[in-house]
Structure 1
């Protein structure tokens, strides 16, 4: 089963815009933001309405997440490719503001500058389409399989060469450090960061999305993998796999 980051990054552009995917084998619609699911054939109560699955997930996204636009535009720059200024402009365009209104809102600049930014964003859209087509053709040429890179979790910090991990590398590292099988204990916690990331991604599968764990619950899960569970717990936070409350009483999966 794909984890939530795989679901998000494997979704088509159309699915990302809608905010959900349809899993045909399970006959359900799944929210890309929180993984809430709605089974076809089931009627769901929403406020004073009774909704079938597709309409229910649309209502869920509107009620709980407000809009997919808000979610996407607030992703980190490493995912959107937008500068702070471009992000502010895109939000203003979404609000239907005129170039003159945007100049007033930003307290500076000129309408010609705003028009130039509109043009650059349109060019960025064209480039993105061509790039997506190129990557699609690469897949058609079978340049995937064991050389395919694993998905980067959305909470990742400082995405760099550490995350250039192929599926083949992942399997070798897991086999090396989990000598008694993936359900067994961790032989040792590696010092190299790329290997740490692979190990942490595997351990993370033992946690459920949309659930808040106490520190004790986190420790109990991590003890099954490694005696020094404090080191693992700290690494999960450090590498952006998990978040915790300011007082350390609650832990949850990030993203």
Structure 2
């Protein structure tokens, strides 16, 4: 069983798939997806046959997992013995008697296993978000005006890293300093624009009131928002509104 290439679900169910077949994790027997299998006067597609195979050929599959010789199995011998007993439904009192310990000790070990499972669940969630999240590599939506100096793409990963670098932590949006790089400027403008309602028009004064808490040089911020297509205004500068674009 190659734990490095199998998903959690594939390890739990005992089989995995290729483009053409269902493969048993334990013995490697394959069931071709385009075949039908005869068993006990009935016929089964490969998707059902693989489960019949696991149940009949590997009834001790849970024990095989527990006793796996994989380098990733860090369970001690005592922990493995306890898990085998738990999987077989042996009562805590019986396990305690067989191991010459108090029943409370066995209950505590169950609690420890549950805590380790919670830790593993959180680690997997963190790992998947960091390394296996395709959305982090998708570009954020920007107005067409941002392409004036040539095509540019900012991924979700870039976007969030830039925000962490240039904005103060906390609930209120506050820009630390004006960025120098074009990509960082666009990311900052994108974030600031989200603070401006799309269903409302502003005078110059009310727009300034909205931008002043975000950045001291609110005039520059306002000008860039307009130049890069996040904001629009009338020729006399009396009416401002946020532009919408395809997300």
Q: TM-score, normalised by structure 2?
A: 0.49
Query: Highest relative contact order (Cα 8 Å, sep 6+), 1 or 2?
Result: 1
More helix by share: 1
Which structure has the larger Rg?
2
Q: TM-score, normalised by structure 1?
A: 0.48
